[in-house]
């Protein structure tokens, strides 16, 4: 590549200036210079110039103001790069072609680079990535091989601005530390991925202020849908969600007045059913241990109210910080026994609490279920393996995730959802602990 500086004595040349600046290699400008230099050695040639000529860095027939740079050499191929590519596969992208330096930083591979590799237009590449069903299979295969060879990743932000679709769905859960919401997250992720969407997960905790901060950040990024845990939100949060016009699915709860759509169950109904279940097993001194979050409190309140309707005036209660833990279960049973040593059944707000209660009962020599019945909530994977096997309330978290994903996909496609509120119910799994 030549870097050309035109001396003043050649400024009067009749060759078009654009041509002079555009040509490379054996340019017309170089020919002009060579003709001029053949007559005499231009002034300015000296010892340093002659030494440079000997080293091969300067063309001896060119004035001092014209220099050449040696061509850049591509780095040697990495091990395995020389392996034969499958028939029809695009050639590997050389580092210099795939990412040309700009300002000291490597430039990203573009859709035009992929188009050149695949031998198609940039429009075809875009169509193959965004609407593969509209591209012939042979062309689609070439584009995909080019994408793989170049390492190209589409700019989803730019594509979202053009199509008003981000292909992202945001989900907020109170905690990812335990298995309570794990099934919902897994099924939601899988169902969305099957429709071309990706899940962005946020941990909101149990404080409303934290959820409001996350909602503001998420709404500003305009996802195609938002999945929330629970129905209790601040007025500011509700206003933001309603004003955003983004499809919203509330989960793990039940209300006749959702923000948009809802998949869940009644926590009040769970509390009532567990109290009746324990009473039907002959238990008359019921106690309850739960987390200090709003949904757990509603289950506890319904349990206490129903126990009162069944004839028990005072129901010992204990609260544990949410998310609840095994250790909180052990401490909770100790607190309940200090309050009333005659209790004969404990309803727990989670299986983790129930596991802790059983362990503490064993440590105190209390027989479960002979002296004390224990029931949990969630029916975690280990519930059947605890000794004795733990009775629990089963929630179909996977179904919640699938239904929520279906709602989001339908609404994102511009279709109306006929049944906006779905009650999936619950089931009491009766095992040895009761």
What's the pLDDT at 156?
56
Q: How many residues does the chain have?
A: 434
229: nearest Cα among 183, 262, 271, 197: 262
Q: Give dist(CA 292, CA 305) in Å, integer.
A: 18
One digit per residue, pLDDT tens: the chain, 434 residues? 444 455 454 454 454 444 444 444 444 444 444 544 454 444 445 555 555 545 554 444 444 444 445 445 544 544 444 444 454 555 544 433 444 444 455 567 888 999 999 999 999 998 888 778 889 999 999 999 998 888 887 665 555 545 556 789 999 998 887 788 999 999 999 999 999 999 999 888 877 767 888 888 888 888 999 999 988 778 888 888 888 889 999 999 999 889 999 999 999 999 999 999 999 999 999 999 999 999 999 999 999 999 999 999 999 999 999 999 999 999 999 999 999 999 999 999 999 999 999 999 999 999 999 999 999 999 999 999 999 999 999 999 999 999 999 999 999 888 989 899 999 999 999 999 99
Question: Which residue's structure tokens are 């000529």?
Answer: 53
Tell me the three-class secondary structure of 55-76, residue by residue: HCCCCCCCCCCCEECCCCCCCC
pLDDT at 261: 96
Cα(215)–Cα(319) distance, rounded to whole angstroms? Answer: 28
End-to-end CA distance of the chain: 85
* Joined tokens for residue 3: 């870097």
Q: What are phi and psi of 147, to 5 degrees?
A: -60, -45
Neighbour tally for 350: CB within 10 Å: 29
What is the pLDDT at residue 294? 92
Cis peptide bond N-terminal to 388, omega within 30: yes
pLDDT of residue 73: 53
3-state SS assignment for residue 297 = helix
């Amino acid at each position: 590549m030549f870097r050309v500086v035109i001396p003043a004595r050649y400024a009067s040349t009749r060759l078009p200036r654009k041509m002079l600046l555009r040509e490379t290699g054996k340019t017309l400008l170089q020919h002009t210079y060579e003709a001029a230099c053949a007559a005499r050695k231009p002034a300015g040639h000296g010892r340093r110039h002659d030494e440079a000529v000997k080293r091969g860095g300067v063309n001896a027939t060119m004035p001092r103001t014209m220099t050449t740079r040696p061509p850049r050499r591509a780095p040697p191929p990495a091990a395995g790069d020389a392996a034969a590519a499958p028939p029809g596969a695009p050639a590997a992208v050389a580092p210099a072609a795939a990412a040309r330096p700009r300002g000291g930083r490597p430039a990203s591979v573009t859709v035009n680079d992929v188009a050149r590799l695949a031998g198609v237009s940039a429009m075809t590449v875009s169509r193959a990535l965004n609407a593969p069903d509209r591209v012939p299979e042979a062309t689609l295969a070439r584009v995909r091989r080019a994408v793989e060879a170049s390492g190209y990743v589409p700019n989803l932000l730019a594509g979202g601005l053009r199509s008003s679709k981000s292909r992202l769905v945001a989900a907020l859960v109170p905690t990812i530390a335990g298995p309570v919401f794990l099934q919902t997250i897994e099924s939601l992720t899988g169902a969305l991925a099957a429709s071309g969407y990706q899940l962005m997960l946020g941990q909101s905790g149990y404080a409303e202020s934290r959820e409001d901060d996350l909602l503001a950040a998420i709404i500003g990024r305009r996802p195609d849908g938002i999945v929330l845990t629970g129905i209790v939100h601040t007025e500011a949060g509700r206003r933001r969600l309603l004003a955003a016009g983004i499809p919203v699915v509330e989960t793990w709860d039940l209300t006749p007045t959702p923000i948009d759509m809802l998949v869940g169950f009644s926590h009040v109904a769970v509390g009532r059913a567990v109290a009746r279940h324990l009473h039907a097993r002959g238990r008359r001194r019921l106690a309850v241990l739960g987390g200090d979050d709003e949904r757990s409190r509603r289950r506890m309140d319904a349990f206490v109210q129903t126990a009162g309707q069944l004839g028990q005036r005072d129901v010992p209660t204990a609260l544990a910080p949410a998310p609840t833990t095994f250790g909180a279960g052990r401490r909770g049973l100790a607190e309940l026994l200090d309050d009333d040593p005659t209790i004969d059944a404990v309803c727990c707000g989670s299986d983790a609490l129930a596991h802790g209660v059983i362990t503490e009962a064993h440590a105190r020599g209390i027989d479960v279920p002979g002296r004390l019945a224990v029931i949990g909530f969630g029916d975690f994977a280990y519930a059947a393996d605890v000794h004795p096997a733990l009775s629990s309330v089963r929630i179909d978290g996977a179904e919640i995730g699938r239904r929520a994903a279906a709602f989001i996909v339908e609404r994102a496609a511009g279709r109306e959802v006929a049944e906006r509120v779905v009650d999936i119910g619950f089931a009491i799994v009766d095992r040895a602990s009761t």
